[in-house]
Amino acid sequence: MVHHGRMSELTRIPAPDGVFPGAQYTHVVLGTGRFVAISGQLALDEDGRPVGEGDPAAQARRVFENLRRCLAAAGATFDDVVKLTYFVTDMAHLPAVREARAAHIPDDRLPASSAVQVAALVRPEFLMEIEAFAVVGE
């Protein structure tokens, strides 16, 4: 993707020497350019209403849509994402998260990732929060 006339240069190292390859992520992503940090996004619509209460797939789709909009505001796309962190209230929600992610990020461009199960999020109706870090062309 071209941003502000320059392409972001990202290098992915799926399995550094001596490190077991990750199945759903890339171990190391290096980039040159501007660093973009996107706060953890929740399943909220543009009016601040919760989306998909009790439905991990609907929440994941909305969270990725919010991430897409935040990235766009920084002149970035999911192609520029170097790291995603998933905070889920139940690890059983990860397949729904992966399905929503697949709609935005192909398997050959997976970012570095961390998945953490948490006791609670800011409000009980939220099943997940996802943050992103990206690097875009200078």
Q: Give residue 96's Cα distance to chain centre.
A: 13
> Is 50 exceeded by the pLDDT of residue 31?
yes
In whole angstroms, how far apart are CA 87 and each of 12, 39, 120?
A: 23, 12, 9
Q: What is the pLDDT of residue 15?
A: 86
In whole angstroms, how far apart are CA 17 and each of 13, 14, 83, 125, 135?
A: 10, 10, 20, 42, 24
Q: Let me know if domain 2-136 sits in CATH 3.20.20.100.
A: no
Residue 63 parent element (H or E): helix 56-73
Average pLDDT, the chain: 92
Sequence ranges of the domains in the chain: 2-136
List strand residue ranges (DSSP E) for the chain, in order.
2-3, 6-7, 9-13, 28-32, 34-41, 81-88, 112-117, 128-136
* C-alpha dihedral sign at 2, 99, 22, 108: negative
Comparing 135 with 137, the larger pLDDT belongs to: 135
Q: What is the pLDDT of residue 8?
A: 64
Looking up tokens 């040159």, which residue turns up?
A: 32
Cβ–Cβ under 8 Å, residues 135 and 82: yes
> Is 50 exceeded by the pLDDT of residue 91?
yes
